[in-house]
Amino acid sequence: MTIVISGVNNNDKITASDGKIDILSGVDYNSEVTAPSFKVGSNIQFGNAGIITATTLVGDVTGNINHTSNLLLQISGSEKLRIANSGAFGLNGTNYGTSGQVLTSQGSGSSPTWSVVDLSAVTGATGDFSIADKIVHTGDTNTALRFPAADTITAETGGSERLRIDSNGYVMMGNSAASAQYSKDLVVGNTTGEHGITIISQSNSIGRLLFSDSTSSGAGTYQGQVNYNHSADELVLSTYTLGQVVMKTSNTERLRITSTGQLLLGETSAVDSNTAIQFTKNVSGNNSRFIFRNNANDGNSRVRLECMTLNRAANADTFSGIEKYQSGGMSIFNGESTNQYSGINLICGNHNVFRLKNGNHSGHDCAHIQAIWGTSNGLHMEQGGPQSGTHKAIRFTTSHYGGERGYIGVTLGGTSYNSSSDYRQKQDVVDLTGAIDRVKSFKPRRFKWKDDPTYTVDGFLAHEAQTVVPESVVGEKDAVDKNGDPEYQVIDQSKLVPLLTAALQEAITEIETLKTKVAALEGS
């Protein structure tokens, strides 16, 4: 049976006893369609030509429902169900969660399983994805990505927080708060267990930690670097331009390498541009030390401070420097072998062994040699070489007038004290006369030294001898320095010898004259 209904409004019921309604068309149908079955050929088509609406659709629909776009189900004028042409379901309402929630089938057959959409299959998605607290792994429920507070993200494994990005943008691993004592941008670890950062690079490449102010270009982009070269097994700490490397302990600078390669220990600036190494240690009541140590248990073991030039001869025993033997010897030398069993050796090849200079400060010692109280020797001069002739153990010269002024010599027969006396160095030479009268003015004394009252000696008082032989005494009577301390006079008694010799000669002449007169008187 075929029933054809046409018209603008059809408000009556359509009933077919045999259950077959072949064609149904109309602009608007608001009544009830009742049939044991509802079948229209092979398709019910909903297109632009019209739509079927009804309060109630009762019965079975067999065949295909075909639509070129999305299929919507509305209740009371509000969308409740959407079937997209992709096959996904869209649900809306209080029983379906968030508006627009999408479900896809993960099974097949008559009873499929429905779950949240597989995001890996979603492309071109727009909008935000919102959750209340955390994203949890389905197979490991104590592993999660959480949002515990405003503007904060954490990652958890094993039920414990491992990483946090807080509202300030600080990144923390193993720590939940960036305190003031940390460099806050990245905080790694906490006060328990071992923590650190590992940089992995290829075995033939370089691992780097770089510091940049983002204002430079090229190599200068990274103003500071810590590099490890795996091939060379080399750790390099460097700056790019005029930077310096500074190391501190207890927040106090201990070491500095300047931009020109100067090494400063306990100093922040070099004395001058020629300084290679400079160090200072201020320790009240203690000694400041610079120690070289060799712990090898060998009598030939040594510690060497070597000064050399690149063009010196390749000879291990001919270098300049300081060397300390474990067996006790210490040498300061230039270009010659050393004696390992001496206390201190000062050795040189063809030049001066050493020079002591106190600058232009008068009254100061160039060298001060102090022996331990008792029988210790203050200075031991040993002259080597051939066992004949006189060897100058100590020479005395003047820089202003040139030439040698004397020396202490060593011979097989003993020691000689020699002052320059060559006639070629003298002028206005005359005989010494009136010596006896001058000698009579001498006041030989016998006295004790205040520093050692048990020791009595014969001698002169310097200021008294100065009136007779002025050149024999240095200094003025009762003189003091700028601090009020006494400046004691000294006497060179060898300067008295010429006067005593002249007086003796005069006395001899007088004695010979008297002997002649006595002989003449006895002959008469």
Residue 48 confidence class, pLDDT cut points 50, 70, 90: very low
How is the chain split into domains, by residue range? Answer: 9-117, 134-188, 246-282, 291-358, 385-429, 432-524
- End-to-end Cα distance, the chain: 210
Tokens 């094993």 label which residue?
Answer: 158
Q: Which of 430, 143, 295, 263 is nearest to 255 (CA)?
A: 263
The whole-number pLDDT of residue 513 equals 94
Per residue in 190-235, pLDDT tens?
888 888 889 999 999 999 988 887 776 766 677 888 999 999 999 9
Handedness of CA 84, 87, 88, 91 (dihedral sign): positive
Strands 28-29 and 71-75: unpaired
The whole-number pLDDT of residue 339 equals 55
Name the E strands within 450-491: 452-459, 473-474, 490-491
The whole-number pLDDT of residue 108 equals 47
Identity of the highest mean pLDDT range in 314-328, 358-372, 418-432, 491-505: 491-505
pLDDT for 384 beyond 70? no
- d(C-alpha 212, C-alpha 461), whole Å: 79
Side chain identity at residue 392, one-letter code: K
Provide the 8-state DSSP code for 154.
E
The whole-number pLDDT of residue 414 equals 82
Per residue in 431-472, pLDDT tens?
999 999 999 999 999 999 998 888 899 999 999 999 999 999
Spatial contact of 491 and 465, defined as CB atoms under 8 Å apart? yes
Strands 28-29 and 9-10: parallel
Provide the 8-state DSSP code for 499.
H
